[in-house]
Amino acid sequence: MSQDDTRAREHLANERTLLAWVRTAIALMGLGFVVARFGLFLRQIGLERGTVFEDDASLAGWIGIGLVAAAVVATVLAAVRFLRARDQIEAGRFEAEVYAEGFVVLLTLAGGLALVGYLAVNS
C-alpha cells in the first residue's frame, strides 16, 4: 500500500468520525427537544386536572435546553477535532485527542443524571 493510499484511508476515517459526532449531536438535540416538550405536556396535563406544576415543566425545559446546548458544543468540538486531525494527517504527525470526547461524555452523563433525577422526583 502506498503512502497516498494510507493517507486517503486516514482522511476517510477522519470524515467518518466527524459524521459519527454529527449523528450523536443530532440525537442529543432530538432528546433535548423531546424533554423540553415533555415539560409542556406536563403543564397541559396539570391545567386539565387543575393542578399546575410550573416548576416541573420549567425544569424539563431547562434539562432540554441543556441537552440541545450540549449538542451544539459537541458539533463545534467535532468540527475543531476534524480540522486538527486533517492537518495532522497531512503533516504526517497525527496525535490522538481525548478532551473533546471526554467533554461530550461528561455532558451526556450530566444530562442523563438530570433526567433520572427529574423522573425519580415526578414518579
In one-letter notation, the amino acid at residue 15 is E
118 confidence band (pLDDT: 50, 70, 90): confident
Largest CA distance in the chain: 72
Give the pLDDT confidence of 82-102 residue by residue, as tens digits.
999 999 998 988 777 777 778
Q: What is the pLDDT of residue 86?
A: 93
Write down the pLDDT at residue 52.
63
DSSP state, 92? T
**Whether 38 contacts 63, CB under 8 Å:** no
Helix 3-49 to helix 99-121 angle, to the nearest 10 degrees? 20
**pTM, entire model:** 0.75
Residue spans per domain, the chain: 3-121
Condensed to tens digits (0 to 9), the pLDDT of residues 30-66 reads: 999 998 888 777 777 777 877 766 565 678 888 888 8
